[in-house]
Structure 1
Amino acid sequence: MALLTDLLGPMRDLAIVIATVALASGLLWVADRWLIQRRAHKARHRPLRQLTMIFFSLTALVAVVLSLPMDADVKKELLGLMGIVLTGIIAFSSTTFIANIMAGLMLRSVESFSPGDFIQAGDYFGKVTERGLFHTEIQSEDRDLVTLPNLFLAANPVKVVRSSGTAVSCDLSLGYDVPHQQVEDLLKEAALRAELEDPFVQILTLGDFSITYRAAGFYRNVQHLLSKRSALRAAILDELHGAGIEIVSPTFMNQRKLPDGRKFIPGVRATGARAKEASAIFPETLLFDKANRAQRMEMLESKRVEIQQALKDWPGDADPESPEARAEQKRLQTQLTISESLLAREKEKEPQ
C-alpha cells in the first residue's frame, strides 16, 4: 500500500503539470484564434493582439511554474529568476525593443497612414501592406517586401500620398534658345494628354546652361500612380518632339559629321490600337498585390462592422413589424452575407 502511494504521488503531480500545460496551451490557442478572427485583418488592432498574446503567454508560463512539484521556496526563487531574466532582457534591448513598441503605439494613435497607402520614408517608397507592433511592412515598386522598424518611421519624416488624389509631376531641363512660353504651353498640353486635371508648369531654376521646368497636374486615382507618372513623361516626349524641340543637354557634343540643321529627335510613330491597349495595363496590380489585398480587406472589414452595427441598432425608432423595417433588415442581412463572403475569399488569396 505504501509503495502504491509512493507511485501515485509523483504520477498525480506529473498529471497536474501535464494538465496545466495542456490547459494553458489550449487557452492560448483559443485566444489567438479568437483574436485573429475578430481583429487580424484590421491592421490597427494587430499591436493590441500581439500585446494581449504576450500577456497571456507570460501568465501561462507562471501557471506552469506554480504547478511544478516543488517546494514553495524553490518556486519563489524560480519565479524571481524569471523576473530577473525578463527584466534584464528588457533592459538590454530597451533601446530597440521598447522603443519600437512605443513608436508603433504612437503611429497607431496618429493614424497618418493605413494599409494600401503609398508612403515614403527616407529612401524607401512603397505601398503599406502590414502594420505590426514592432515594424511596418511596405511593398516596393519592384514588388519586394521591405520591413521598416517603427522607430525608424517615428524618427524620420513620412510622406503619405493622400487617397483623395495627388499631384503627378515631371522635371526636365531645356536650353535658353527655346521660348519658355512655348515650353509652358506644350507641357500643359502634355499633362492634359496624360489625363491630369488642372495642369500647371513651374520654372524651378535658371541654370548656367539650361532652364529647369516642372510639369504637373492633379490625379485622383492614386492606385495607378506609377503608370500615370510614366504616362506624363511619355506625353512630354511626344509633345516636345512633335513641336521640333530637342531634349538634349546644352553641352551635348557629337563628333560625327552630320548635315547642318540635323535635330536629334526620334521619328514619331503612329499610335494605334496596340498603344491604347498597352496604356490600359496597370503594373501596380502586379507590383502591389499584397498591399492592394490588405487595403481591400481593411475596407471589407470596415463595411462588415458597419453593417453589424446597423443590424444591432435595428429597427431604431421604426416599427419592427412594418414592411419597410422588415425590408431594411433583409437588405442589411444580405449585405452582411456578401461582405463576409468577400472577406473570406480575400483571406484565401494569400499572395506568393
Structure 2
Amino acid sequence: MQEYVQNFDFSEYLPAALAWATNILLAALILILGLWISGKAYKAVYGIGKKYERLDDTLFRFFGSVARYIILAFVLIAVLNRFGVETTSIVALIGAAGLAVGLALQGAMSNLAAGVMLLIFRPYKVDDFIDAAGQFGKVTEVDLFTTILQTFDNQKIIVPNSQIWGQQITNHSFHEIRGVDMTFGVAYKENTDDARKVIDEVLAAHPHILKTPAPFVEVSALNNSSVDFIVRPFCKGEHYFDILYSVPEQMKKALDKANIEIPFPHRKVIVVKED
C-alpha cells in the first residue's frame, strides 16, 4: 500500500483540483457580492418611496423586491456557469415557467397591475372615504392586489383592485372642506324671505358649519306643490355626515316653530253621486 501511494502521481490531478478550488472561491465571491448588491438595490429603490411623502411605501417595497430577485437570478446563473452548467436552457426554462404562471394567474396579474397604478397615481389613501366598485366606506388598507374598506356598520369589505381601476372613483375626503347639498321645500303661500331667514338661522347655529365659505341658500325649483330651496352649507370633511343627518331634523323643527308649512303631496278625490 505504501509503495502504491509513493508511486501515485498527484501532479496529474492537481490542475483539476486547483480549477475546482478556483471555481468554488469565485462562485462564493460572486454569491457574496450578488447578495450585497441585491440588498443595496432593494434599499435604494425603497429609499425613493421614503424620500417623497406622496409616493407609497408599499409600491416601492414591491419594486425593491423585484430588483433584488432579478439580481439574485443573474447571480445564480453566474454561479452555475462557473461550474460548467449550461445556463441557456435554464434561462429558457425560467422564461417558460414565468409565462405559464402568468397565464395561470391572469386575474391576480390584473389586480397587481391595477394595484401598481393605484399606488402610483394615488386617487385615494388610507383613512379616505371613497365610493368605488359599487362600495362605500373608509379605506383601511391598500396593497398591490386589494383595497380594504370599513363600512359605517363596521363591516370589512375586500375589493380587488381590478374592479376599482378603470371605473369611476369618488373620493369624499380629497378636499379638506366639503359642501353638503340638501333640498327643503315650503308651501307656495309662504314668504320665501321668511323661509330663507329660518334656514339661515339653523345653519348659523350649527357648530360644525363654517362661516367661510358662506352657506349657499337659493330657490332651486318651483315644483307642483312646493317651492324648493337648495341648501349647501360647508364643513370640514370629517363633519360631512354629521351635518347631512342632523340638519334636516333641525330644519323641520325650526320651520314648524315659525309656522312655515312644509308641503306634502295631496290627492283630491271627487265623488260623483248619481241621481
TM beyond 0.5:
yes
Count of paired positions: 246
Offset from partner CA, 1:65-109 (integer Å, 9 cap, x none): 431375432x32222111111122223434551464267437735
Q: Could you say which residue in structure 1 is the equivalent of 2:254? A: 239
**TM-score, structure 2 length as denominator?**
0.61
Instruction: Give unmatched runs, 5+ long, in structure 1.
Output: 252-352
Matched residue of 2:217: which SS?
strand
The Cα offsets for residues 257-308 of structure 1, whole Å up to 9 and x where unpaired, read as xxxxxxxxxxxxxxxxxxxxxxxxxxxxxxxxxxxxxxxxxxxxxxxxxxxx
| Corresponding residue for residue 200 of structure 1 | 217
Q: Give the RMSD, CA atoms, in angstroms.
A: 4.8
Contact 2:129 2:138 in 1 (8 A): yes
Counterpart residue number, 1:225: 240
Amino acid at match of 1:79: V
Query: Which structure: greater helix fraction?
Result: 1
Give, in whole Å, the separation in 1 of the partners of 2:252 and 2:30: 72
Q: Deviations over 1:127-165 (max 9, x none)?
A: 556655545555554566655444333321112344252
Other structure's SS at 2:165 match: helix
Q: 1:120 to 1:58 in 2, by over 3 A?
A: same
1:50 alignment partner, one of 59, 62, 70: 62
Matches for 1:243-282 after TM superposition, within 5 Å: 243=258
3-state SS of 2:175 partner? coil
Q: Greater RCO between the two (CA within 8 Å, min separation 6)?
A: 1
Q: Is the 8 A contact 2:187 2:262 kept in 1?
A: no
Q: 1:218 to 1:187 in 2, by over 3 A?
A: closer
Task: Specify every segment of 5 or more residues in structure 2 that has no aligned partner in the other structure, as ranges.
Answer: 1-9, 267-275
Which of 137, 162, 178 is residue 166 of structure 1 equivalent to? Answer: 178
Matches within 5 A, 1:5-154: 23-40=33-50, 42-46=53-57, 47-68=59-80, 71-73=84-86, 75-94=87-106, 96-98=108-110, 100-101=112-113, 104-105=116-117, 108-109=120-121, 112-113=123-124, 117-128=128-139, 132-136=143-147, 140-141=151-152, 146-154=157-165
**1:125: how far off?**
3.0
Distance in 2 of aligned mates of 1:39 and 1:107? 11
Q: TM-score, normalised by structure 1?
A: 0.50
Distance of aligned partners of 1:99 and 1:122 in 2 relative to their CA distance in 1, 3 Å threshold: closer
Largest Rg, 1 or 2: 2
* Separation in structure 1 between the aligned mates of residue 23 and residue 159 of structure 2, nearest angstrom: 47
Q: Is the Cα–Cα contact under 8 Å of residues 168 and 229 in structure 1 kept in the other structure? A: yes
